């Protein structure tokens, strides 16, 4: 307690650049060294040599359905244990904060899970839980993707949302289709409660999507996947990336696993709206495991090499990719800088959530959640609140 720890000999991601600098931490918070030196007349109590590694903010995953044999949407009785197991496992991938994601499910599943998954600070026991991402059931049948059609619901107004979900206290993000009846009314209600509304699993045209954003939506769920493809006369949700009829930054999730999105599509999206790109895994229970059959909500999923399909179909069902893999693939596919690739998994999701002053950054006063990386963006070690929570002995 109160000891000043100095991380030195590292390249720090700060103000969109990698710079050789030291990181000073006290009581889990990043300190301004000038204030320490000139006002408090203090130096470091402990010095840690980072051996020339990259020091990045901890990674933030806004859409992850499970991992390590855990599916957040199905094992309701043991969901607390399951979420904690995934939170612990994510530390090895540099993830320090995440949103457990629940796919389209019956109402009683939502209510039971939301009562048990509460926001939680990160520690040596696992990454921080920021709140639940509810993906469905208010989505389009035509673009259901891997979501079970029988549980998709009509959006009859705000009451229908409360009827299906119950208590919204632990909810951080809701994905819905903006073309549904009463969508704008519901988006306003959720936004006023501080919940991020994301647009996805949709056949929305551009005008409907713009109306949704102007009603409060600010995120797009896995851009290009489970939505109408870009068309030059009506680009649909994709058109939000360059729309002049919205007055705020629009953010969009991308599954940069090398399977869900062609490298050319990654380049198009990034060049159209670089500040809005957020890398997500959309990982399922098979993340980190061998090929086989696993669970995604109320359905079985088959893993074939690096792809996940709804059993007995060719419908993609989330990914088995890790966030460092997505970062590396994005950088290679787009020829972006290391800084751009890292900020798509750190600063941008934090900004989308309105949490950029505390996570996703290494600015003074932010929480000292960070990851040390090799030059090829492999995780070397992970820190939460300045404490070592994972180290790669290899």
Q: What residues are designated binding site?
A: 135, 146, 201, 222, 225-226, 233, 260, 316-318
Q: What residues are designated binding site for Zn(2+)?
A: 135, 201, 222
Strands 299-304 and 4-14: unpaired
Domains, the chain, with CATH or none? 4-56+362-391 (2.30.40.10), 58-353 (3.20.20.140)
Instruction: Quote the longest CA-to-CA distance of the chain.
Output: 67
Quote the CA–CA distance of 191 and 35 in Å, as a whole number: 38
Going 253 to 256 to 257 to 263, the CA torsion angle's sign is positive
What are the CA-CA distances from residue 37 to residues 21, 34, 305 (Å)?
Answer: 16, 5, 54
How many H helices and E strands in the chain?
Answer: 10, 22
Using DSSP's 3-state secondary structure scheme, residue 108 falls into helix
- Burial of residue 19 (CB within 10 Å: 0-12, 13-18, 19+) is exposed
Q: Where are the alpha helices (DSSP H) in the chain?
A: 33-38, 79-90, 107-114, 158-165, 183-192, 206-214, 263-272, 323-334, 338-343, 347-353
Kindly report the CA angle at 149 between 143 and 152, in degrees rounded to 5? 85
- Residues of the chain where predicted confidence (pLDDT) is lower than 50: none
Quote the CA–CA distance of 350 and 373 in Å, as a whole number: 20
Quote the CA–CA distance of 124 and 141 in Å, as a whole number: 41
* Active-site option among 61, 71, 257, 282: 282
SS3 content of the chain, % helix, strand, coil (to 5): 25, 30, 45
Quote the CA–CA distance of 68 and 377 in Å, as a whole number: 22
Quote the CA–CA distance of 102 and 108 in Å, as a whole number: 12
pLDDT for 364: 97
How far is residue 153 CA from its own chain's centroid? 25
Quote the CA–CA distance of 352 and 343 in Å, as a whole number: 12
> What one-character DSSP code corresponds to residue 235?
-
What are the CA-CA distances from residue 58 to residues 97, 204, 242, 291, 385 (Å)?
Answer: 8, 34, 29, 29, 10
- Give phi and psi for 35, each to the nearest 5: -65, -40
For the chain, how many residues are written?
A: 394
User: Cis peptide before 137, with omega less than 30 degrees from 0?
Assistant: yes
Q: What residues are designated binding site for substrate?
A: 146, 225-226, 233, 260, 316-318
| Short-list 45, 55, 48, CA closest to 19 | 55
Quote the CA–CA distance of 308 and 331 in Å, as a whole number: 23
Active site residue 282: yes
pLDDT for 291: 76
Quote the CA–CA distance of 340 and 327 in Å, as a whole number: 10
């Amino acid at each position: 307690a109160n000891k000043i720890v100095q991380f030195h000999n590292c390249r720090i991601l700060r103000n969109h650049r990698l710079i050789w600098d030291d990181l000073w931490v006290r009581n889990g918070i990043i300190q301004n060294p000038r204030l320490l030196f000139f006002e408090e007349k203090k130096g470091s109590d402990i010095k840690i040599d980072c051996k020339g590694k990259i020091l990045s903010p901890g990674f933030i995953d806004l859409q992850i359905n499970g991992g390590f044999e855990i599916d957040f949407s199905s094992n309701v009785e043991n969901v607390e244990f399951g979420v904690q197991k995934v939170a612990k496992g994510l530390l090895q991938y540099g993830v320090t904060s995440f949103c457990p994601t629940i796919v389209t499910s019956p109402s009683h599943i939502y209510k039971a899970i939301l009562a048990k998954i509460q926001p939680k600070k990160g520690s040596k026991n696992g990454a921080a839980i920021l709140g639940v991402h509810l993906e469905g059931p208010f989505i389009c049948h035509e673009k259901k993707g891997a979501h079970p059609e029988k549980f998709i619901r009509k959006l009859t107004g705000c009451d229908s949302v409360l009827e299906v979900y119950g208590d919204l206290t632990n909810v951080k993000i809701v994905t819905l289709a903006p073309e549904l009846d009463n969508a704008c009314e519901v988006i306003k209600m959720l936004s006023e409660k501080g919940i991020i509304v994301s647009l996805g699993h949709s056949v929305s045209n551009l005008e409907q999507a713009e109306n949704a954003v102007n009603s409060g939506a600010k995120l797009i769920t896995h851009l290009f996947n489970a939505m109408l493809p870009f068309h030059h006369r009506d680009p649909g949700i994709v058109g939000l990336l360059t729309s002049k009829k919205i007055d705020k930054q629009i953010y969009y999730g991308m599954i940069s696993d090398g399977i869900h999105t062609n490298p050319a599509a990654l380049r198009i999206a990034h060049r159209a709206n670089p500040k809005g790109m957020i890398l997500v895994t959309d990982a399922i229970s098979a993340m980190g495991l061998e090929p086989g059959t696993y669970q995604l909500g109320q359905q079985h999923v088959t893993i074939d090499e690096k792809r996940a399909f709804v059993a007995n179909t060719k419908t993609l069902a989330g990914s088995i990719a890790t966030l460092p893999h997505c970062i590396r693939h994005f950088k290679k596919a787009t020829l972006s800088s290391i800084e751009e690739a890292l900020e798509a998994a750190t600063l941008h999701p934090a900004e989308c959530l309105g949490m950029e002053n505390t996570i996703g950054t290494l600015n003074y006063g932010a929480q000292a959640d960070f990851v040390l990386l090799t030059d090829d963006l492999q995780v070397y070690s992970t820190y939460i609140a300045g404490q070592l929570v994972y180290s790669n002995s290899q």
